[in-house]
């Protein structure tokens, strides 16, 4: 028996495009004499469809794709993810299903039992969990067909869940496991995912075909890396990361295999390599799926906008990324020089636009109101907002999407100007801590200087008042980022942080900054998610709360 | 037996303030010789605490309040909502619980079974559903103690759920029902809630004490209106809406009552009266809970900013709301005159600030780039953004919160400028359709002209180009709002809308506008929720999707 994995990138709600892509893969699999071709979770509509699932029109369109796939299923079995209607009145209206389609009909529907409802996931908002499980029989093989999270409660050891679908399915003596997923990227998640797949094989002692989605859906990036593991636990193949691919595997060698440690020498994944590729895909898909080609951003001379520009130029093509330098009298000379060098290295179109006249015009306009007040953060913010207006004007006039250049550390503590440097359609590095911004720049420079060394080494500054430095307002990024990581990713509270040895006063100051700046993050653009806990849909906080603040 | 209802307004995560408020109510109830005092759902931490629940420090602090309340419970039983730790490893870590505390100890913990996970609710993200139910016995009475949604599946007729806790509890022959809730306001929800409470009484034939929370938590408003219904279904009391209150009821008259239709003549709730009061509370609590007193807004001469100003002046005091008029050469004369009249009617401080010089300065700055292009939406947006910068500068300098003045119709179709008129800390009328904006203005003028008639009757216009009218770009609001309502609140798709008789081309155009403007709404401030489906946390849509767009 031959099984094809179609690791594909879908467009949410673009049913015609998704159907065409799936159908083409079916044809390709047929031409390679596959018996079964498997697609990711919710492939027909794209994952996550979110509240579109509340529209009957939307779920009807999913069913129409299933109908069309029936007609494509002569001579091949198609396993594809789609919402299906729950026939029982009680409970949610839908299941998150894997359709098994062959010979022109739906032979089996496997429903997902473990519905992730944490972080970015809202599955119990839409889906009823499955309570019954049975294997699919096809061409003499019994298949344990599951969906994503269903294999993440191995032996009931995941404290979130009470059911382990594979423990039930294994009693029906399946020949192999087939799991269709939409498992999102985080720099530490691909390794975790491989361990989970391997642990299932170790427990059930049958091969696993693991099909993951690829592609970015606004902020969430799916990284692919589909897996084929034989019953001895050898990794037969790991499909590419961050790319579509269709590959066909002969099943027989997966059975009665012998453990061969040499086969597990998969290349180790480097954190910066993964983040780099995730961000490129995130940018490309945001633009591609919205039908845009060109980006604009403000280049300050600092490291964040430099990194964002380098990533955007690589993702979209240098000629499509327009870099605008907008110095003021507080900008240092090297800011423009460094920016010009960067633009030259990358080959991007650029412009130099002074904000001084407009800034002065605002001060003059507000003179009657501001009379007798001191220059403070207000005037700093005006500069950032003048830049925002200029960038948005160019964006509106010529059809660019503005890229936001804030990093995760400053987004966390609110070190940024709402409607100024916090503006944009997409935040490229909003889930990358400042310390990782440095590391990522070094990584991009690994084959030669792309980002000028001076941009990387000079002390970070917003340059909104004379001789300003980030370190005037913030602790060293090494310490700041470690505290932020423990608080945001690891959900450690003040007592735990102090017990770790961090200074109490500093801990309380930082946690207060994070919590009181929730209102700013509420209005920031979507941030490409590369960690296990990004700001945005995966982290939901009250604005008017008063906790640690 | 005497039972006190404490309908209170909590501050999320402000444990000390919440404890003090609860403790004061316990003392008040004691002094009124109550045997039991009941508080709303998750009273100790405020509802909804959202992802704060993922911090052990936060849930520990909830437990510390429970410990303190034990000491307050000599001579009175305290029923209070709090998260509690799930002792079983499998499943979510927490329950959403009602603690029954008396004589210095926790006598009983009732856990919530039906966990709303739709619209604004994410309860299954945090809580494990209860599967066991038992009545509490106290002073010779058996109490069926439930939490909010638990009474919303009467006789298993709510299709969302498979369990009906009261069907199980009634077998233990309780004397009365006690439900503690945090049931949010929507203009059509208070009536629905009364019907549900009444239906429970009708089914189980025992009295119901229904305790609701009050107060606004960022965008979500809780309206109070706690209920006492005797076993014959007579409404003995409905507590005030949008206000805190403590009242004590004698239980005996609730038993063996006779049906008396006269007692059900509660005053009918008017939609505009409810919305009006909800918005006032929403504004007050947003400011109060953030520790701010003063608001600023831009007054265009149009109806939306006029209504927002009138509401803010009523909520915060006229002297605390600063109205800024920022005409341009496209502003009609009556815009300023009407605004001045409004400001005079309300008694608010105001200023007139021209945007012309700054607008011109932007055009001059961008002249090299804009050379040869026509005046279009870009220049319109620059005007809106100049106003945004001015308002934010005044906000930053003097500590005002900027109020956003967009209505739901324009937020829906993206008729607004990101970082311009879409800016602000709080959107006051972002969940009020334009047709209801008119109705609400008429309502505010019911006792005399507050909002000048000319503001209400003139054709809506953004005044960003010569002789511009909303009707140049949008269909009549009567039709637009009806289509938007069906699509947004009722989740009707294009086929259903066309079947209702709406023009197909118009339907497709409007739905496309709604869906392609998701990126704008992603960055708007929280909008006070007054309908059953507001933009924001209760409506979660993909940005890069391509569905009806």
A208 vs A200: CA distance, rounded Å: 8
Whether B250 and B324 share a structural domain = no
The phi, psi pair for A529, rounded to 5°, reads -90, 120
| Residue A535 included in any domain | no
- CB spacing of B540 vs A122 below 8 angstroms: yes
Q: B404: closest CA among B309, B515, B316?
A: B309
| Residue A528 included in any domain | no
A507–chain B nearest CA distance, Å: 14
| Domain edge (last residue) among B199, B230, B257 | B257
Contacts of A404 in chain B (CB under 8 A): none
Catalytic residue among B21, B45, B62, B112: B112
| Residue B494 included in any domain | no
Whether A296 and A429 share a structural domain = yes
pLDDT score for B25: 98
pLDDT score for B329: 86
- CB spacing of B366 vs A390 below 8 angstroms: yes
Judge whether B112 counts as a catalytic residue: yes
The whole domain housing A254 covers 2-269
Whether A127 and A231 share a structural domain = yes
B311 vs B280: CA distance, rounded Å: 6
- CB spacing of A92 vs B46 below 8 angstroms: no
Contacts of A89 in chain B (CB under 8 A): 159
Per the CB < 8 A criterion, the answer to whether A81 and A180 are in contact is yes
pLDDT score for A267: 66
| Residue B263 included in any domain | no
Q: In chain B, whose CA is at the least distance from the CA of A526?
A: B522
Give the residues of chain A that fall short of pLDDT 50: none
pLDDT score for B240: 96
pLDDT score for A331: 85
| Domain edge (last residue) among B192, B224, B257 | B257
B213 vs A246: CA distance, rounded Å: 55
Of all residues in chain B, the percent with pLDDT exceeding 70 is 99
CA dist A67 → A60, A70, A105, A300 (Å): 10, 5, 9, 53
Place of tokens 């501001």: A370
- The answer, yes or no, to whether residue B498 has pLDDT greater than 70, is yes
Place of tokens 């409905």: B238
B51–chain A nearest CA distance, Å: 5
Whether A252 and A281 share a structural domain = no
Closest by Cβ to A51, choosing from B159, B495, B540: B540
Task: Dig out the tokens for B99 from the structure.
Answer: 């603690």
Give the 3-state secondary structure of A271-338. Answer: HHHHHHHHHHHHHHHHHHHHCCCCEEEECCCCHHHHHHHHHHHHHHCHHHEEEEECCCCCCCHHHHHH
pTM of the model: 0.97
Q: Output b/e per residue, A342-355; b: 16+ Cβ within 10 A.
A: bbebbebebbebeb
pLDDT score for B467: 87
Number of domains in chain A: 2
Query: Residue B267 — very low, low, confident or very high, per pLDDT cuts 50/70/90?
Result: low
Q: B527: closest CA among B428, B414, B388, B382?
A: B428
pLDDT score for B266: 67
| Residue A248 included in any domain | yes
A1 vs A139: CA distance, rounded Å: 8
- CB spacing of A57 vs B161 below 8 angstroms: no
pLDDT tens digits along B128-180: 999 999 999 999 999 999 999 999 998 878 888 989 999 999 999 999 999 99
B444 vs B308: CA distance, rounded Å: 11
The SS3 assignment for B454 reads helix
Whether B29 and B103 share a structural domain = yes
Q: At CA B500, angle to CA B494 and CA B506, rounded to 5?
A: 50
pLDDT score for B60: 98
- CB spacing of B51 vs A161 below 8 angstroms: no
- The answer, yes or no, to whether residue B24 has pLDDT greater than 80, is yes
pLDDT score for B106: 98
Q: At CA B326, angle to CA B325 and CA B331, rounded to 5?
A: 105
CA dist B259 → A207, A537, B3, B265 (Å): 68, 50, 22, 13
| Residue A491 included in any domain | no
pLDDT tens digits along B111-129: 999 999 999 999 999 999 9
Neighbours of A207 (CB within 10 A): 26
Q: Is the dihedral of CA A367, A368, A371, A373 positive or negative?
A: negative
Q: What is the ipTM of this complex?
A: 0.96
The phi, psi pair for A147, rounded to 5°, reads -125, 120
| Residue B67 included in any domain | yes
| Domain edge (last residue) among B225, B257, B289 | B257
Catalytic residue among B45, B62, B148, B348: B148
Distant-in-sequence, close-in-space partners of B19: CB < 8 Å, separation ≥ 6: B44, B65, B68, B69
Q: How many CB pairs under 8 A join A and B?
A: 274
Q: How large is the average pLDDT for residues B314-337?
A: 93
Substitution target from B128, B160, B358 for chain A, most A beta carbons within 10 A: B358
> Per-residue DSSP letters for B31-69?
HTT-SEEE--TTTTT-S--GGGGG-HHHHHHHHHHHHHH
pLDDT tens digits along B232-262: 999 999 999 999 999 999 999 999 999 987 7
The CATH number of the domain holding residue A315 is 3.40.50.620
Q: How large is the average pLDDT for residues B85-93?
A: 94
Angle between helices A356-365 and A377-398 (to 10 degrees): 120
Whether A67 and A157 share a structural domain = yes
Q: How large is the average pLDDT for residues B350-364?
A: 97
Q: A538: closest CA among A503, A472, A488, A501?
A: A488
Contacts of A365 in chain B (CB under 8 A): 353-355, 357-358, 390
Whether A412 and A324 share a structural domain = yes
pLDDT score for A159: 85
Q: At CA A475, angle to CA A474 and CA A480, rounded to 5?
A: 105
Whether B333 and B199 share a structural domain = no
pLDDT tens digits along A459-513: 888 888 888 888 888 899 999 999 999 999 999 999 999 999 999 999 999 999 9
A91–chain B nearest CA distance, Å: 4
pLDDT score for B443: 98
- CB spacing of B353 vs A373 below 8 angstroms: no
Per the CB < 8 A criterion, the answer to whether B382 and B362 are in contact is yes
Whether B362 and B332 share a structural domain = yes
The CATH number of the domain holding residue A114 is 3.60.110.10
Place of tokens 């039991």: B36
Q: B215: closest CA among A545, A472, A420?
A: A545
pLDDT score for A265: 61
Whether B372 and B432 share a structural domain = yes
Whether B288 and B434 share a structural domain = yes
Whether B44 and B112 share a structural domain = yes
- CB spacing of A419 vs B389 below 8 angstroms: yes
| Residue B323 included in any domain | yes
Q: How large is the average pLDDT for residues B452-458?
A: 95
């Amino acid at each position: 028996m031959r099984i094809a994995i179609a690791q594909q990138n879908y467009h949410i709600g673009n049913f015609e495009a998704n159907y065409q892509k799936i159908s083409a893969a079916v044809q390709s699999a047929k031409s390679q004499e596959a018996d079964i071709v498997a697609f990711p979770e919710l492939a027909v509509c794209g994952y996550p469809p979110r509240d579109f699932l509340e529209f009957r029109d939307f779920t009807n369109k999913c069913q129409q794709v299933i109908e069309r796939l029936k007609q494509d299923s002569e001579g091949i079995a198609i396993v594809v993810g789609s919402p299906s209607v729950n026939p029982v009145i009680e409970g949610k209206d839908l299941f998150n299903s894997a359709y098994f389609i062959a010979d022109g009909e739906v032979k089996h529907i496997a429903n997902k039992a473990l519905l992730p409802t944490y972080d970015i996931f809202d599955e119990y908002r839409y889906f009823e969990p499955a309570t019954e499980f049975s294997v699919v029989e096809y061409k003499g093989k019994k298949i344990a067909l599951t969906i994503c999270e269903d294999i993440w409660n191995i032996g009931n050891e995941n404290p979130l869940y009470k059911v382990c679908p594979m423990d039930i399915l294994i009693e029906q003596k399946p020949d192999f496991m087939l799991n269709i997923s939409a498992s999102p990227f985080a720099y530490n998640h691909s390794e975790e995912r491989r361990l989970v797949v391997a642990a299932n094989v170790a427990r059930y002692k049958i091969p696993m075909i693991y099909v993951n989605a690829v592609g970015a859906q606004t902020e969430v990036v799916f990284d692919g890396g589909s897996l084929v593991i034989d019953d001895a636990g050898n990794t037969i193949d790991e499909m590419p990361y961050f790319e579509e691919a269709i590959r066909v595997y002969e099943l027989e060698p997966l059975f009665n295999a012998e453990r061969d440690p040499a086969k597990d020498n998969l290349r180790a994944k480097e954190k910066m390599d993964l983040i780099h590729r995730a961000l490129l895909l995130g940018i490309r898909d945001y633009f591609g799926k919205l039908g845009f080609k060109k980006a604009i951003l403000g280049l300050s001379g600092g490291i964040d906008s430099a990194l964002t520009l380098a990533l955007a130029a690589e993702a979209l093509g240098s000629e499509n990324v327009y870099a605008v330098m907008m110095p003021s009298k507080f900008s240092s000379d090297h800011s423009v020089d460094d920016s010009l060098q960067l633009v030259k290295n990358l080959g991007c179109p650029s412009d130099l636009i002074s904000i001084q006249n407009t800034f002065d015009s605002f001060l003059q306009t507000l003179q009657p109101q501001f009379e007798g007040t001191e220059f403070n953060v207000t005037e700093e913010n005006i500069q950032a907002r003048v830049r925002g207006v200029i960038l948005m004007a160019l964006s509106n006039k010529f059809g660019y999407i503005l890229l936001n250049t804030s990093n995760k550390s400053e987004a966390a503590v609110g070190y940024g100007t709402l409607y100024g440097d916090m503006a944009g359609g997409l935040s490229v590095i909003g889930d990358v801590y400042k310390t990782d911004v440095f590391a990522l720049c070094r990584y991009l420079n690994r084959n030669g200087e792309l980002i000028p060394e001076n941009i990387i080494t000079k002390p970070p500054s917003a340059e909104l008042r004379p001789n300003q430095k980030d370190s005037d307002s913030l602790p060293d990024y090494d310490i700041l980022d470690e505290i932020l990581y423990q608080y945001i990713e690891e959900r450690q509270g003040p007592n735990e942080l102090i017990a770790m040895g961090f200074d109490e006063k500093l801990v309380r100051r930082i946690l207060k900054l994070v919590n009181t700046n929730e209102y700013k993050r509420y209005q920031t653009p979507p941030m490409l998610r590369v960690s296990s806990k990004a700001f945005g849909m995966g982290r939901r906080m009250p604005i008017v709360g008063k906790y640690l603040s």
